[in-house]
């Protein structure tokens, strides 16, 4: 006979805060301390500085190191518009690169969680490039103090058909290290979020592993190039289509 209580079984099945119990009108001390710890980890993730050189050393190709127009973390948090565009120096760097038509540009951005980028971005980049062998990639870029839309300017300057932005997502109380991937066809300044596809919650062990995320992104990117679009018109059907039946045995 299983003597485990229902709240205990639920807590084993999810990282969500359920079945915490009570101590009078409040939470038990252990639950309160766990909440305060997770809240502190989330706040630290937002303010943690990206070590761009450490990320660069783990990538399949040497990247260009760039920054947004937000000069400080305080600017980044209070002025989202500054994080959507490049600094003058970074724009000059890309204008000095001989832009030529290419299939895709990979842009890695610290976003709201550099912890997520440190933990998962390089593994995802390696897995994705293995799955898209033969694609013509623009130079990889790493951007500090950036938002998703900074990839639009970068992709346009590099002449890429597609831009893929890997960015640290807003930390949750149980997910300070979640990475997001945003895919945009024909990047240019002014693209809207409705024109992007997103694969979210990329992290181990409680989210989508970098390998599974690479499978999804490779499918989306292949379809985007074939259909020449991304966003609401491109549905993520990866894994939903029935596999092809095995060939019949020869008689």
Q: What are phi and psi of 248, to 5 degrees?
A: -70, 145
pLDDT digits (tens, 9 = 90+) for 186-216: 999 999 999 999 999 999 988 999 999 999 9
Cα distances (Å, whole numbers) of residue 195 to 93, 173, 179: 27, 29, 20
Name the nearest CA neighbour of 133 among 200, 185, 60: 60
Cα distances (Å, whole numbers) of residue 118 to 74, 180, 210: 21, 13, 13
For the chain, where are the E strands, in sequence order?
64-67, 102-109, 141-144, 160-168, 179-185, 196-202
Q: What are the chain's domains?
A: 52-227 (3.40.50.11240)
Q: d(Cα 159, Cα 87) in Å, to the nearest integer? A: 19
Provide the phi-psi class of 21: left if phi over 0, else alpha when psi is between -120 and 50, else beta. left
Q: d(Cα 248, Cα 251) in Å, to the nearest integer? A: 9
Per-residue pLDDT of the chain (251 residues; tens, 9 = 90+): 455 677 777 777 777 777 777 888 888 888 888 878 888 888 878 888 899 999 999 998 899 999 999 999 999 999 999 999 999 999 999 999 877 789 999 999 999 999 999 999 999 999 999 999 999 999 999 999 999 999 999 999 999 999 999 999 998 877 889 999 999 999 999 999 999 999 999 999 889 999 999 999 999 999 999 999 999 999 988 765 444 444 545 54
């Amino acid at each position: 006979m299983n003597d485990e209580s229902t709240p205990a079984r639920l807590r084993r099945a999810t990282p969500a805060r359920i079945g915490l119990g009570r101590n009078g009108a409040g939470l038990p001390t252990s639950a309160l301390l766990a909440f305060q710890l997770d809240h502190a980890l989330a706040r630290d993730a937002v303010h943690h500085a990206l070590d761009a050189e450490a990320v660069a050393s783990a990538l399949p190709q040497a990247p260009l190191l760039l920054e947004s127009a937000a000069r400080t973390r305080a600017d980044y948090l209070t002025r989202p518009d500054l994080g959507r565009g490049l600094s003058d120096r970074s724009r000059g760097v890309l204008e000095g690169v001989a832009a030529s038509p290419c299939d895709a540009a990979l842009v890695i951005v610290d976003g709201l969680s550099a912890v997520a980028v440190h933990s998962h971005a390089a593994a995802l980049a390696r897995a994705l490039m293995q799955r898209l062998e033969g694609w013509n990639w623009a130079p990889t870029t790493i951007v500090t103090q950036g938002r998703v839309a900074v990839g639009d300017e970068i992709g346009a300057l590099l002449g890429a058909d597609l831009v893929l932005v890997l960015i640290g997502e807003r930390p949750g109380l149980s997910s300070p290290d979640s990475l997001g991937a945003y895919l945009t066809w024909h990047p240019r300044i002014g693209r809207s979020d409705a024109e992007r596809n997103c694969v979210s919650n990329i992290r181990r062990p409680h989210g989508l592993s970098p390998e599974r995320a690479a499978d999804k992104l490779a499918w989306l990117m292949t379809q985007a190039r074939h259909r020449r679009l991304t966003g609401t018109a491109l549905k993520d059907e990866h894994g939903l289509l029935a596999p092809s039946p095995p060939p019949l045995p020869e008689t």
